[in-house]
Structure 1
Amino acid sequence: MAETKDAHVVEIPVDEEHQQKQITVVDTVAALQHHPLAEISQSPGHFLLLKLWQREEDLYGRRMSRKESRKDAIGREIFQLCCSFFVFHGLFLTILFTSSSGHHHCKKWWIPSALSACTSLVIAFLVQVKLCRYWKVDRQLQRDRTDSRALTRCIQELRMKGASFDLSKEPQNGKKLKSSSVEIKWRPITWCSHYRVTVFLVCFTGLVLPSCRFILCA
């Protein structure tokens, strides 16, 4: 006679909190699979484009850092030349004033005037050369900043769109952005604002020339 065995079914209770956590994990995994960065990692073209743009962005950052350092160095050189200019004139006028005891120096007033003019013009010329380099580096720096911002916007757009991003899209360079914006500048005002230091040095030199005759012949 066969013995019948009772089958016991054990039910494992599952609370609602544990079930909610499982649902959350499943939703998170599904969301990560459809995330734009996940789509980019699965698309070789978009992934390569992202890496290239990130590398180019890093190169822009290094280049701008070097140009900012160069710009600061040129600014310090201009400041040193201006200090030398005023130190020279201070010593020159002091020596000229102390040696103006006799009237016989009045006949040769043009000698110190010529010396002062030549030295001042040489320093002013050096300042002008440094200023040209300064503003050239500044223009390059502004163009790199514009290109870097355009590249950063494209990288952000690629990260947001994922695989739907158009691979044929390229960052707009500084020339295109400049042509799209209307900017009116009067060149004489711009030149004077950039090279006002040189203008001031030349004007100061012009004031020193008659001062030499006045000091020697007074």
Structure 2
Amino acid sequence: MTLKFLSAALATSALVALSAPVFAQEADKSGTNIDAAGTGTKGGVAQLALAQDLYALGMASKDALTVLTAAKLAAAVEVKDVEQKKETKAGETAEEADVADAPVDAAAMMASAKELAADDETLIGLIADAEAEGSRGRIGGASRTLSRLPGGHTDTWEVPFYGNSLAELAVVGDGDANLDVLVTDENGNTICFDVSYSDKVYCDFVPAWNGYFYVTVQNMGARRNSYYLLTN
């Protein structure tokens, strides 16, 4: 599946967001919580999202070098497992048996690279070098939360981000079903939106003030999709 990179949008969403606590900050919180002129440097979340994209491309083309590159990118990011506030709404879709229990990680990517390399001594050597390098020089700044979302069900996450700082989030699925994603601010305004056929979405933006954002993930398929919500 192709990774979907989303730019921040300023349209108004009809989604009714969950009730949100308010940050202790004096600011005009009317309108859309986004600084259109804001900038920032992409970090670990973007790198993990890119790794997933390269892995999918490498597996589709059976290219061991591309898969190895994806594994090295993923291994270079230090990820912390965290809890996030979430509500799940049931759907009516009859669920089929799922295939994967979680998205692929760096270790699984490396194993795939070995399998694709077969007897290619040059590739085998590159993979061995990458494994020996391990996690040296890893960058931080990425957190993840796993959700195993049944077919037809919808998760809505409540995620806080600081104003005037680049906010990054990604949804990375296991490939078993299409995931549609909508990101709104506390006023219900759309920040990112995607309904294309994929289960991988990356979104970044700069909030104008400290606030909560709502990430709605809908499983459009019949199988469960075990996905990570990644945030910085």
TM-score, structure 2 as length reference:
0.21
**Structure (1 or 2) with the greater strand fraction:** 2
TM-score by length of 1: 0.22
Kindly indicate which of the two structures has a greater share of residues assigned to helix.
1
